[in-house]
Structure 1
Amino acid sequence: MKKINRSLILDTIRSHQPLSRAQIAQRLKLSRSTVSSIVEELLLKKLVVELGYGSSTSEGGRRGLQLGFNPKSAFGIGLDIGGTKILVVITDLDGSIEFREKFPTTSNTDKIIEIIKQSIHKAGLSESDVIAMGVGVPGITTKDGIVVDAPALKWTNLELKSEMQANFDFPVFINNDVNCAALGERWLGSGENSDDIFFIAIGTGVGSAIVANGELIQGFDSRAGEIAYNISETDIKEGQENKLGEFGVFEKKISGSALQKHCNPPERLFTEYAKGSKAETEIIENFILQLSINIANVVNLLNPEFVIIGGGVSESMGVVIEKIQESVERLTPIKTKIGLATLGGDAGGLGAIAYAFKEIEGFNMLGD
């Protein structure tokens, strides 16, 4: 119960600061002694700071000592491990970036651990300042932090969490990179005020992530969101089929790799489409149709408040996003908002931190 109350008190201070102890007790219907005891712990851990006395009340009495949240009391590390680069981001508890750097990708875990240690040092921090670390991986991961398969890194059944955890005192959490990007957009990007999100990443390949009631939905064996394998009756009649580890049927229609077969770089397709070029118009209109059909089916199934489109290709999709919204509205009577991601290449790293923070919610770093 104490742990729950501590989490409630910290969240209340964070959301409604400045507040006095009496105001916290009143809001949460807790005893003054309970609030005072927990506040003392939070002050010792520097998660909360005293801001001074507020102005006098209307009756002339003095307001209590005001408390505020201290986002600089601890920091999170996020890694987004890609096929060509590793992004390391370090933020405070509010998500303000303290350090950001890209490193060449390596599949050597010892080298990745060294990159992390270097980054902490470059940020002017010590490992004791770090509350948690999240790592986004381009592949299938388990809740235990095992990378089942990450072809780009040639990892199979790698116990990444265990290897990382053996080198750091702070907790380490592993997840899929698209899941992390979705959490990043929900924390600090276009989905900041949404608890029900469907995130689709369109880059070299296609992936997606589901957030329902503020929780990441990962499925029975962490494969939820494999939208790349969506298939239609027409696809089946044409002899299309899905095979694990290969590009999915839907992925072959709208991914950056698919678009690149028409134009390199694929971003030019959208530029020429905006100019009214006939050839590019046909390609992009088919892209819009295929994407809209699949989004509409997801909306029918999940009823998300917001569909966010991210990934490298999305950075060129400003010219078609309204058409996608209109198309989806014609295909399903269920309403949803469709928009583009706003964090760009930082989404995965920031989302890895968001995932780590979520996993330690309740602030068990207080020591019990």
Structure 2
Amino acid sequence: MVKITDSLIKVLNFIWKKEKTYLMEISKETGLEKSTVSRSLNKLKNLNLIKKVDELSASPLGGRKTSIYSFNFSIGYILGISIEQDGLEFVLTDLQGIIIFSKRKNIKIDKNNIVNEIISIYSQFYDYKILSVGISLPGIINSSNGIIVYSKALNIENLDLSTALEKEIDVPVFIENDSNCGAIFFNLKYKDKSHNILYFHISIPYFATDHVGLGIGIVIKNKLYHGSNNCAGEVEFKIPLINTNENISFTSILNEDIDTLINNSRDFINIYSKKIGDYISIFDPDNIIIGGNITLLNEKFLNFFIEEIKKNIFIPNIRKLQINHISPEDYLTSRGAVSIVLHKMFSNKRGTENFLKIYLMKRGDIK
């Protein structure tokens, strides 16, 4: 049986964060003795958690070559699931967040089928060594306890989702608000360039004539802001994408003439561009991203919408900011759910220790 020590955790955590590293660098940065690092490296190699990827030549004065190590990102997988009113999308990634498989499913999700739909997705990957599951959801989420506090979009209130899933899913499940998932994904991706981010997650319901959902993921100085009550970024405007008395599905308008769609969406565009412009003016971020299933709409519609937002930003000429929309092929919030999992696994000692326990149990090295 493998003993999980503090030094083993510290070395593994450091290697995951570095693309490539070596013994002397690990010792210097972690404060561990070289002999301790050497023993930890041997254990991690034997467990297939790290691999030798290169070596540096010995100095002209002699001595050994320096081995270069990297984390073995292919030893397991993370399942990221994004749930919206009009359906869900999911990705299977390695431990670096690289997508192995992705898929979308159009189905109306609510309290009656959410648990079964998640279990159904997980069951598709029984043959893979999944180490954790991340789930992105609309609404007010208590991510610490795995509870959907309130989701109007899904008609769910006070659902302990993590407990409901643990009987069928034998790995840790983490849940987070969808806009926060998007924000943390971009924060990790652009943290060296952007420190203050607003991610606007705009969710068109199954019927485009129902009220559009809006959530805002807020990153301030590279830290995700939840607010005092986990309600930061939760707002409601009772405006549909299209004003009509008929029930028109969102998928049915995706190929509609773009000028007709813009004309039919005037109320939505006017109100949402004004509100989003106000939020940008207040928070003064350096990067703004528009996401959610609204990005399934035509590029011309999205560009028109962004131009309307820009018109509503106070003194835009003196602000250094970027406004972009994601591609619908990005699978952003499901990848964001994966980012949440990886952040929890490798951002601190406790997370890395839990990762090691799950990995070793899957191998049969500990019980």
Per the shorter chain, which TM-score range? 0.7 to 0.9
Amino acid corresponding to residue 215 of structure 1 in structure 2: K
**Structure 1 residue corresponding to 2:116, chosen from 102, 105, 111:** 111
Give the equivalent residue in structure 2 for 1:88.
90
Give the equivalent residue in structure 1 for 2:243.
261
Q: Measured at CA, do residues 22 and 331 of structure 1 come closer, stay the same or move farther in structure 2, by a change above 3 Å?
A: closer
Q: Which has the higher helix share?
A: 1
Amino acid corresponding to residue 138 of structure 2 in structure 1: P
The RMSD of aligned alpha carbons is 3.7
Of 68-77 and 12-21, more deviation after overlay is shown by 12-21
> After the TM superposition, which parts of structure 1 deviate over 6 Å for at least 4 consecutive aligned residues?
264-270, 277-283
Shift of 1:72: 0.7
Q: Does 1:313 align with 2:294?
A: yes
Separation of aligned partners in 2, 1:177 and 1:79: 10
Q: Measured at CA, do residues 280 and 146 of structure 1 come closer, stay the same or move farther in structure 2, by a change above 3 Å?
A: closer
Identity %: 24
TM-score if structure 1 supplies the norm length? 0.74
Amino acid corresponding to residue 36 of structure 1 in structure 2: S
Give the equivalent residue in structure 1 for 2:141.
141
Q: Does 1:172 align with 2:162?
A: no
Shift of 1:34: 2.6
Q: Measured at CA, do residues 29 and 77 of structure 1 come closer, stay the same or move farther in structure 2, by a change above 3 Å?
A: same
Task: Could you tell me which runs of 5 or more consecutive residues in structure 2 were left unpaired when the two chains were aligned.
Answer: 204-211, 359-367
Separation of aligned partners in 2, 1:227 and 1:197: 17
For residues 301-351 of structure 1, the C-alpha deviation after alignment (integer angstroms, 9 at most, x for no partner) is xxx332222123355323454664575361595543333234656112111
Q: Does 1:352 align with 2:360?
A: no
**Structure 1 residue corresponding to 2:11, chosen from 9, 20, 28:** 9
Alignment of 1:1-368 (within 5 A): 9-57=11-59, 59=61, 61-103=63-105, 104-106=107-109, 107-109=112-114, 111-121=116-126, 124-125=127-128, 129-142=129-142, 143-187=144-188, 193-203=193-203, 204-228=212-236, 248=237, 252=239, 257=240, 259-261=241-243, 271-272=258-259, 288-299=273-284, 304-314=285-295, 316-319=301-304, 321=306, 324-325=309-310, 328=313, 330=315, 335-342=320-327, 344=329, 346-361=331-346, 362=348, 363-364=352-353, 365-367=355-357
CA contact (8 A) 1:43 1:49 kept: yes
CA contact (8 A) 2:243 2:264 kept: no
Separation of aligned partners in 2, 1:116 and 1:178: 22
CA contact (8 A) 1:75 1:92 kept: yes
CA contact (8 A) 2:16 2:71 kept: yes
Q: Measured at CA, do residues 3 and 335 of structure 1 come closer, stay the same or move farther in structure 2, by a change above 3 Å?
A: farther
For residues 16-44 of structure 1, the C-alpha deviation after alignment (integer angstroms, 9 at most, x for no partner) is 44332123223444320232233234324
TM-score if structure 2 supplies the norm length? 0.74
Q: Measured at CA, do residues 156 and 172 of structure 1 come closer, stay the same or move farther in structure 2, by a change above 3 Å?
A: same
Amino acid corresponding to residue 134 of structure 1 in structure 2: G
